[in-house]
Amino acid sequence: MGFVFSFDAKNKIILVAVQGHISDAVLSDGYASMGKYAASHGPCRAIVDASGVTKFEVSSHTVRGLARSAPAIPVGYARVIVAPQAHLYGMMRMFQMLGELTRPDLQVVRTMEEAYQLLRVESPEFTPLPIPEEGS
């Protein structure tokens, strides 16, 4: 299924729901889309919720490459990855450690409640974002 994007305008948070079977290509495309959404919605924070991932077939090579790339969310804005599954949590921690210099505001947690606590958000109001058109 891939990535579904929502936005909480009050708290300036992009929510990226990662769902279904995630491959190297799906992850790379989703990461690029996240950068586009963040740029179009101004400086904001982000939550990447990987709770809906059913299969994660992403190589450590791809994770390292994304960690070395420019951050999708500008430095200075918190971003939290929610990864409840053990394997996925480990891969996201690897991403966090490899990208520490360019993403000092990244945290990896196991639940959405932890993400909301880190961002100090009590009642987020997410609305779906439109799917970007090809080439945009």
Structure tokens at 104: 């000092």
Does a structural domain hold residue 62? yes
Residue 79, phi-psi category: left (phi > 0), alpha (psi -120 to 50), beta (remainder)? beta
Query: What residues make up the domain containing 89?
Result: 2-120
Q: With a cut of 50, say whether residue 136 has pLDDT above it.
A: no
- Predicted structure pTM score: 0.92
CATH number at residue 98: 3.30.750.24
The secondary element (H helix, E strand) that includes residue 52 is: strand 45-57
| Planar angle of CA 73, 1, 81, nearest 5 degrees | 35
Does a structural domain hold residue 100? yes
Number of folded domains in the chain?
A: 1
- Read off the pLDDT band of 1 (50, 70, 90): low
The mean pLDDT of the chain is 91
Please give the pLDDT value at position 11: 94
pLDDT digits 0-9 by tens, 46-72:
999 999 999 999 999 999 999 999 998
Does a structural domain hold residue 44? yes
- Read off the pLDDT band of 87 (50, 70, 90): very high
Does a structural domain hold residue 133? no
Give the C-alpha distances (Å, rounded to integers) separating 84 from 51, 87, 121: 6, 9, 20
Spatial separation of the C-alpha atoms in residues 30 and 18, rounded to whole Å: 9
Does a structural domain hold residue 90? yes
